[in-house]
Amino acid sequence: MRSRVIFGIDDICPQKSADAGKDFGGDLQAGILGQLLDLRQDFPRIKVTLFITPNYSYKAQPRYFSTFQKILKKPFGKRFAASIAKKLPDGNFQLGKHPEFCNFLKMQEKKGIFSLELHGFDHFNPWLYYPQEFTELSLEKCNERIEKAVALFRKAGFQKPKVFAPPGWGLSGNLLEALRNNGIPRIAGSVDNSSSVSKDSFSKGSGLQCVSALFPQEANGLLNIPRNWDLRFGKLEKATQILQAGGILGVQAHAAEEGVENAITPENLLNLKNVLASLEKDFGNLRFAHFKEI
């Protein structure tokens, strides 16, 4: 079997650079999505999985804000602590309100370039660490959010998602059960960009623990697909070791520089292109795949 490479990008939504200075996909061809499409000039078979938040309401809080909330929760309760959280208006970047964005993605999906998968409902948790939308939610609430997210996907004309990437890497048994209940069989639920590589490596980063860092593995009734190579900081040496061990090279990235460094930028994509070019010299034609094809 040829060496496999998957490339997943979190936080995709209709937000444009004109909205808040950062493009999360809304700039279409003129922005990060165009940069991704340009990768095909060098790698015609490359595939990109876009993990989309269909009702995106994420907004960065001030530094140490989550610590401040935890302090307030003790004397005043979590509802008061949540009430001071900054949040964009509900549905500000809801898919159905941005038909041009949706049509652009559907067109590229038909060409086989993009795969459109799920990254939460609104990417916001007012109680705790704000990107971890599902942390401490009941099974009922997890089910409700997944159902609403899938409904927005279908209303936008997207296919039902087959893969889920957890917002903020916040996972729980209730979330995993909700995914099973809603017929989403795969999860991009573990990331480990720094551990040493071996066939027996377990993921020690964020998300699921005690799952393989190199190979797909069943976890709580779902197939976990590992993410193990960072778009910005990933090195050729580690990519080579992963493929030599027979593992999947899972490239992990984010749409924009919102609290992360592995965003879609020309510099970060150049790192990927240089590494892929070297790998193809050593391993021959790479087998690019979408997460749903694993």
pLDDT for the residue 51: 99
pLDDT tens, residue order, the chain (294 aa): 567 999 999 999 999 999 878 999 999 999 999 999 999 999 999 999 999 999 997 555 555 555 655 665 555 555 554 554 555 455 589 999 999 999 999 999 999 999 999 999 998 776 666 688 998 899 999 999 999 999 999 999 999 999 999 999 999 999 999 999 999 999 999 999 888 899 999 999 999 988 999 999 999 999 999 999 999 999 999 999 999 999 999 999 999 998 899 999 999 999 999 999 999 999 999 999 999 999
Other C-beta atoms within 10 Å of 114: how many?
A: 24
Tokens of 254: 């984010």
Indicate which CATH number applies to the domain containing 220: 3.20.20.370
The model's pTM:
0.90
Domain encompassing residue 56 = 4-293
Rounded-to-integer distance, Cα 102 and Cα 17, Å: 17
3-state secondary structure the chain: CCCEEEEEEEEECCCCHHHHCCCCCCCHHHCHHHHHHHHHHCCCCCCEEEEECCEECCCCCCCCHHHHHHHHHHHHCHHHHHHCCCCCCCCCEEHHHCHHHHHHHHHHHHCCCEEEEECCCCCCCCCCCCCCCCCCCCHHHHHHHHHHHHHHHHHCCCCCCCEECCHHHCCCHHHHHHHHHCCCCEEEEEECCCCCCCCCCECCCEECCCCECCCCEEECCEEEEEECEECCCCCHHHHHHHHHCCCCEEEEEECCCCCCCCECCHHHHHHHHHHHHHHHHHHCCCEEECHHHC
Q: What burial class does residue 101 get, using C-beta atoms within 10 Å of its C-beta: 0-12 exposed, 13-18 middle, 19+ buried?
A: buried
Tokens of 182: 């809603």
Domains in the chain, number = 1
